Amino acid sequence: MKLQDYVQNKPVLETEQLILRPLRKEDVTDLKEWLGDSSIYQYWGKRPGKSDLNPELLFQKQEKPAKSFHWGIIHKQDHKVIGDMWVYLIENDRMAKVAFRLSPACQGKRLMTEALVRAVTFCFEETELQRLWADVHIQNIASYKTLEKAGFKREGLIREGKMVNTYCDYYLYGMIKDDYIEISQSKCALREKPGKK
């Protein structure tokens, strides 16, 4: 399928522990539990906006059809929304930026890595995207470790650059489809490797 095929109908993605799906009005209660937490915005590049502090505002305007994706991350254990992820800033149906955030209560459990790996798989196997990229504050160790675990490579350092609304030093990370194929083939080879007798 192509990005155009998802303009009206956004996919629902699933992992062992998580479901990635578009956010709904009934998610507001879950979002209120963590979306306004100031710790999430320490390296986000901006302070929490009106819709972060009042998630019900997210659903007051009807979203315009777009090729970009914004998923809520739902934990299967309790069916609560614990984070969200974007694939956006799509250029020429070829490259896109990824961004993600997770409830502080759920951090450090490899859940975001699991969600990101699934989103990457979708992008490279079910759309025509050839490159994904992200920017991350140099002090945001948890986020760049998540990117690295998902297969992204550090491509550079921007000094005193503008990340959203903040001037800071930040890393650029990227993954191209060839990287993804190489990682997938390595995992397959490991699974097929016969055990010692």
What confidence tens digit (pLDDT) does each residue in 183-192 have?
999 888 777 7
Please classify residue 46 by burial: count the beta carbons closer than 10 Å to its beta carbon, then call 0-12 exposed, 13-18 middle and 19+ buried: exposed
Task: Give the model confidence (pLDDT) of 85-120 as tens digits.
Answer: 999 999 999 999 999 999 999 999 999 999 999 999
Could you give the number of structural domains in the chain?
1
Query: Helices in the chain by DSSP H: which ranges?
Result: 28-32, 50-53, 111-126, 141-149, 177-192
pLDDT of residue 194: 59
Q: Give domain status of residue 196, yes or no.
A: no
Q: What is the pLDDT of the chain when averaged over all its residues? A: 94
Q: pLDDT at position 196, please?
A: 47
195, pLDDT greater than 60: no
Domain that holds residue 183: 3-191
Q: Tell whether 106 is covered by a domain.
A: yes
Q: Indicate the pTM of the whole model.
A: 0.93
Give residue 193's pLDDT.
63
CA 35 distance to own-chain centroid: 15
Pairing mode, strands 18-21 and 80-91: unpaired
Q: What is the CATH number of the domain that holds 38?
A: 3.40.630.30
Residue 74 and residue 27: Cα distance in Å, rounded? 10
* Rounded CA separation 74/20 (Å): 6
Residue 32 has pLDDT above 80, yes or no: yes
